[in-house]
Amino acid sequence: MNCRRSLAGGFFLGVRKVISKQWRLIGAFCVVLLNACGGGGSDDSTIVLDFDGERVDATFFEHQEMYVNAQSDPDVTIALSADGEVSGPIYVQVVDNNQAFVGESAAITDQGDGRFTATLRANSDLPPGTYAGSLTVNICKDVTCGSKYKVTGNTLPYTITIVPQMSLMIYVDGVEVAAATSSSDVIQLPYTPRTSIEIVSNTPAAISAQDHPGSYTFDIDPGSTSQDWMAQIDTSSGLLPGAFVYVKAADGTGDAQKEVAVYFSFNSF
Please write the tens of the pLDDT for every residue from 203-261.
Answer: 999 999 999 988 999 999 999 999 999 999 998 877 889 999 999 999 999 899 999 99
Please write the tens of the pLDDT for every residue from 44-55.
Answer: 678 999 999 999
The pLDDT value given to residue 144: 83
Q: Round to whole Å and give the CA distance between 187 and 171.
A: 12
CA angle 241, 242, 248 (to 5 degrees): 155
Burial per residue of 201-223, b for 16 or more beta-carbon CB atoms within 10 angstroms, e otherwise: bebebebebeeeeebbbbeeeee
The pLDDT value given to residue 238: 75
Q: Round to whole Å and give the CA distance between 200 and 179.
A: 10
The pLDDT value given to residue 44: 62
Q: What is the pLDDT along the chain (269 residues), one digit of tens a residue?
A: 233 444 443 332 233 333 222 334 444 443 333 223 233 344 567 899 999 999 999 999 999 999 999 999 999 999 999 888 877 777 888 889 888 998 766 777 878 887 888 899 999 999 999 999 999 998 888 888 888 999 999 999 999 999 999 999 999 999 999 999 999 999 999 999 999 999 999 999 999 999 998 899 999 999 999 999 999 999 887 788 999 999 999 999 989 999 999 999 996 44
Largest CA distance in the chain: 90
Q: Round to whole Å and give the CA distance between 62 and 71.
A: 14
Burial per residue of 142-163, b for 16 or more beta-carbon CB atoms within 10 angstroms, e otherwise: eeebeeebebeebebebebbbb
